[in-house]
Structure 1
């Protein structure tokens, strides 16, 4: 039996061609799901455990993923009861198979409840259907998933009446007790699906739950009746039949390729993977549909252009950078900086000409750098959004800041890993301790403070809001300090901009500097190795042990060397660190958890933090994860220092 499951259905909605690659081990897949890490990072296992307390005494259909018939038989047996709650009930119909999170059978009526590790505000009018009448894009795949579940269950049991619900974290609710997020834990080496340790047995023990149920049956019915379509040329039942037949017949659907979907396709093989014999689904599609050969695949293409939408290029088969014109980019210059469109065109020109030299707006960069005051402070935060709150009065999915690293660059050129903070204590809400440690670290002088991207400012805004609602005795002092280093976001009624508002080094890169070795990426994990490969200064300095170059460190020995070469090329320093999880590169983890609730970056760190919080482990294991986190965070701020040094020594102080 090779059924179309709900996860395969969701994959097909992203792009029907993916069905051909999805279960084939020979195709590279950079989104290979690890259910343990996914459940850990999102807090999904906790939300699921709390959801079951809402519907207690359920029958758990405890079978392996591949035991389709057994799961269906156990479900059918349980459904013979007049009234019953079932966890992970299984339904199949003509080659379709689903498992539901929770069903509640009362007579002939069955509530089909999908538990989501997401949050919503029940008081908002347009959570799922927008003001213009279309499905809200961020919910579309979840609602189609639920429609697929209802469709299969209803077909399997036409005499029952199924109603579709979502059960999720409610943004308007606050925890009634301390330690809510410590009530559901995973034993060491345990399975978050089957081995959860529950420290409560009744919803009454936790007071007010932070989950709420919402009826989405009308929306789901409208999807099944084709009021809402995922693809305009395919109705709901047609989609199911098309996907099922193609999957079972192992047939490539040859679905028209789309710019954004192909740009983000997970079935791309790296050169290293191809050397190992792995195949690329991306290449399969482009060779079939556009007749591309290795010649085209080896040329730079439009999907590599930073922040580029590529309208009509697919239809016109103009996807190579050499086919892109200035009109495609629609260049709009801006005074004193590279505009986004200018940056795109610079990327295209350099790629076509195989020009790896950097492009710099030197005078503008110098004017910017002349404003900076010593000592320079480089900071990086690691954060999480925790599904279930730490303490009474907190809401689900609030921002939690558990770690920072801080480097200083002094006027005499000396560099210190000045301070660091990490909280690895289960059940302790860290934000206010974090804020005090941050004040102690960077509050003693008026030196310029650097962040990379906007995340740190977002977190400081969140902590200010949390402090305003708190009873902390030093809250006014902390708020005053935090406002001096930040700017108000739109959630705050009273605007502010601190006199030491953090300088965004990522914005500095975007405005004044382009390095072709980044291939358009502005991630620090791309800018750092590109800078190291380009900079003669960095190569000379960081090829020496850190003890020889007056660089202090909290986490690396004096003989540690940051710059290592492989075939004349600098190895990305992030790849030289030990992985935080077995079999997972840190950069792979970023890809895998980045689409979860409120997660933009730092996927590896927040997953590790979740493990520290919710998994029972030995002190040695806890210590190893903590050490790993400290190393990664230290490299993040050292990377910022290196980028600054590259600007200073290879650009500003270098004669024209």
Structure 2
């Protein structure tokens, strides 16, 4: 839209020479903008997102879904010459410029990143809905937009063009990722290995944790991870699958142990490899790490629980207990006017109450997916009404809920809502300020973090060191005879109410003597898409930690032309998933009650 005369080079993605020839022909023009321009020279091939040519002055623009505060941005380079999480993007552009300069030595190439600007504010409603992602027969991602759409329809720009010439020059001059080679030598090193089909074996270490070629080897599917490790360590694939040092939860020392001392597996570690610090009545971080190592090495599958500390913690809670979970969205292109890229939108919550006599009530829920509505202020009003029904303790799982109410606090400060002061006081009563807040508070009913309760008092080898609710819930179900007995019965028989499941629904099912995770019982929100696939699809977006399925569902519901039937089915799915999220917290609480008694 911002380059209306631009020409896209599409099709035959495998035919590098044809793509380069089409680009070269277009570049004969004095002034031109090309999308996906292709360059091929000396067996080096690149595509450029946006190339804007005016004579010999060239703008090389790399488009990313990441965001930036453009007003305050100065440089991606830190004081040590590193580039943090931007390294891969900047090296990508550095390679593009290198190849382009080989093709056209006389060009003056200026490099930019095109990013969502978190300082910009959308000036029109429905901006996000104007662009729909689609996939064509060539498996390329495309965009569908209204034929009548004009640049004026977009309102004020929400994207920023960030000059990265300093960073690209730094890479070309110093090659900070490999100080033993110049940038050109590094390019030629990769080129030689690619042309000669020579495998590059990078020394194994802590970085292998993020290997993109890791899969379960099968006769028809190889795992690059296993090939690399078996070649360098001369071990069988079975031994390679032994628990790794980098799998130890929150263990900062794993990088040094793996990269410098070649202690790749947990069975190589002892207490001496940890800086063990004990904490009275709790499982300290280092003690937790030692427990994980010892249980793995001894093939001990029993949970470890700091029972007295857990009992004291539970005794400090005030009944009735309130368990809440939020579903939120933060997208690059805002849904509504007055919002910034990746600004938090809170569109759903679920609220379970556990009474002292053991009754469990799905007390309330909120869901607003109406197109064009900014739901946050109605969301917080509904939450206020729900939680003020009693004075009991409030529980969340990890930081998300506290982060969201802090975000709504800031939004209220810039609003004209008639009950702003009342809502601000409510937020302060159930939360504490985050680090970037201009105010300081800690509420009388500050939400208790059930994740921290798990971390402080409970470890189960079944979780593989993870404290996420999707790991802890199956572990608790696997260990608890109480939960297995209770939740294998229908809702009507277990002193539980539900707003979204029928009375004869059973949350716990068995398959080949194995407990099925309750989340697996629910149908996916979208046909042919698992939650894991949705998480991977949005993994590079800013501000997104989890909840991919709900985020995509909310975005989909913003399109007004969706059929009522499809809209209602997605809403039903969202309500069930969110209810299960708070019920999962209740189940973990019930398990803890079981073990302390």
- The answer to whether TM tops 0.5 is yes
1:565-584 equivalences in 2 (<5 Å)? 565-584=510-529
How many angstroms apart in 2 are the aligned matches of 1:92 and 1:643?
Answer: 58
Whether contact under 8 Å (2:112, 2:161) holds in the other structure is yes
Aligned counterpart in structure 1 of residue 534 of structure 2, from 570, 579, 589:
589
Q: Specify whether residues 197 and 404 from structure 1 end up closer, same or farther in structure 2 by C-alpha distance, changes over 3 A only.
A: same
**Equivalent position of 1:135 in the other structure:** 82
Q: Specify whether residues 494 and 543 from structure 1 end up closer, same or farther in structure 2 by C-alpha distance, changes over 3 A only.
A: same
**Residue 474 of structure 1: how far off its partner (Å):** 1.7
Q: Specify whether residues 466 and 354 from structure 1 end up closer, same or farther in structure 2 by C-alpha distance, changes over 3 A only.
A: same
Further displaced range: 537-546 or 504-513: 537-546
**Residue 506 of structure 1: how far off its partner (Å):** 0.3
**Equivalent position of 1:492 in the other structure:** 437
How many angstroms apart in 2 are the aligned matches of 1:242 and 1:198?
Answer: 47
**Residue 608 of structure 1: how far off its partner (Å):** 2.6
Aligned counterpart in structure 1 of residue 493 of structure 2, from 548, 567, 575:
548
| Residues 36-73 of structure 1 deviation map (CA, whole Å, 9 limit, x = unaligned) | xxxxxxxxxxxxxxxxx332221122325334333323
**Equivalent position of 1:155 in the other structure:** 102
Q: Specify whether residues 386 and 301 from structure 1 end up closer, same or farther in structure 2 by C-alpha distance, changes over 3 A only.
A: closer
How many angstroms apart in 1 are the aligned matches of 2:56 and 2:250?
Answer: 52
Further displaced range: 213-222 or 336-345: 213-222
Gap regions ≥5 residues in structure 2: none
How many angstroms apart in 2 are the aligned matches of 1:406 and 1:558?
Answer: 19
**Equivalent position of 2:302 in the other structure:** 357
**Equivalent position of 1:257 in the other structure:** 204
2:136 corresponds to 1:184: no
**Residue 247 of structure 1: how far off its partner (Å):** 3.5
**Equivalent position of 1:146 in the other structure:** 93
**Equivalent position of 2:596 in the other structure:** 652
Aligned counterpart in structure 2 of residue 430 of structure 1, from 375, 384, 393:
375
How many angstroms apart in 2 are the aligned matches of 1:576 and 1:588?
Answer: 17
Q: Specify whether residues 454 and 91 from structure 1 end up closer, same or farther in structure 2 by C-alpha distance, changes over 3 A only.
A: same
**Equivalent position of 2:421 in the other structure:** 476
| Residues 407-428 of structure 1 deviation map (CA, whole Å, 9 limit, x = unaligned) | 1111121112222222222332
Q: Secondary structure at the match of 2:328?
A: strand
How many angstroms apart in 2 are the aligned matches of 1:414 and 1:249?
Answer: 69
How many angstroms apart in 2 are the aligned matches of 1:201 and 1:588?
Answer: 32
1:20-419 equivalences in 2 (<5 Å)? 53-124=1-72, 126-130=74-78, 132-186=79-133, 193-198=141-146, 201-225=149-173, 227-259=174-206, 261-270=207-216, 274=217, 277-309=220-252, 310=254, 311-419=256-364
How many angstroms apart in 2 are the aligned matches of 1:602 and 1:194?
Answer: 24
**Residue 300 of structure 1: how far off its partner (Å):** 2.7
How many angstroms apart in 1 are the aligned matches of 2:288 and 2:218?
Answer: 33
| Residues 154-173 of structure 1 deviation map (CA, whole Å, 9 limit, x = unaligned) | 22233322211112222222
Whether contact under 8 Å (2:353, 2:361) holds in the other structure is yes
**Residue 607 of structure 1: how far off its partner (Å):** 2.5
Q: Specify whether residues 148 and 188 from structure 1 end up closer, same or farther in structure 2 by C-alpha distance, changes over 3 A only.
A: closer
| Residues 317-344 of structure 1 deviation map (CA, whole Å, 9 limit, x = unaligned) | 3222221011211111122211100000
Aligned counterpart in structure 1 of residue 401 of structure 2, from 456, 461, 465:
456
How many angstroms apart in 2 are the aligned matches of 1:636 and 1:336?
Answer: 29
What TM-score do the two structures reach when normalised by structure 1? Answer: 0.85
How many angstroms apart in 2 are the aligned matches of 1:148 and 1:188?
Answer: 28
Aligned counterpart in structure 2 of residue 502 of structure 1, from 437, 447, 460:
447
Q: Secondary structure at the match of 2:392?
A: coil
Further displaced range: 56-65 or 614-623: 614-623
Whether contact under 8 Å (1:181, 1:427) holds in the other structure is no
Q: Specify whether residues 512 and 268 from structure 1 end up closer, same or farther in structure 2 by C-alpha distance, changes over 3 A only.
A: same
Whether contact under 8 Å (1:184, 1:614) holds in the other structure is no
Whether contact under 8 Å (1:483, 1:498) holds in the other structure is yes
Whether contact under 8 Å (2:134, 2:141) holds in the other structure is no
Aligned residues: 594
**Residue 614 of structure 1: how far off its partner (Å):** 5.4
Q: Specify whether residues 168 and 436 from structure 1 end up closer, same or farther in structure 2 by C-alpha distance, changes over 3 A only.
A: same
**Equivalent position of 2:572 in the other structure:** 627
Q: Secondary structure at the match of 1:600?
A: coil
| Residues 53-100 of structure 1 deviation map (CA, whole Å, 9 limit, x = unaligned) | 332221122325334333323222221211111222222222222222
What TM-score do the two structures reach when normalised by structure 2? Answer: 0.94
Kindly indicate whether structure 1 or structure 2 has the higher relative contact order, using CA contacts under 8 Å at least 6 residues apart.
1
Whether contact under 8 Å (1:424, 1:612) holds in the other structure is yes
Q: Secondary structure at the match of 1:555?
A: coil
Further displaced range: 393-402 or 192-201: 192-201
**Residue 369 of structure 1: how far off its partner (Å):** 0.6
**Residue 198 of structure 1: how far off its partner (Å):** 3.8
Q: Specify whether residues 619 and 155 from structure 1 end up closer, same or farther in structure 2 by C-alpha distance, changes over 3 A only.
A: farther
Q: Secondary structure at the match of 2:128?
A: helix
Gap regions ≥5 residues in structure 1: 1-52
**Equivalent position of 1:539 in the other structure:** 484
Aligned counterpart in structure 1 of residue 553 of structure 2, from 605, 608, 619:
608
Q: Specify whether residues 298 and 134 from structure 1 end up closer, same or farther in structure 2 by C-alpha distance, changes over 3 A only.
A: closer
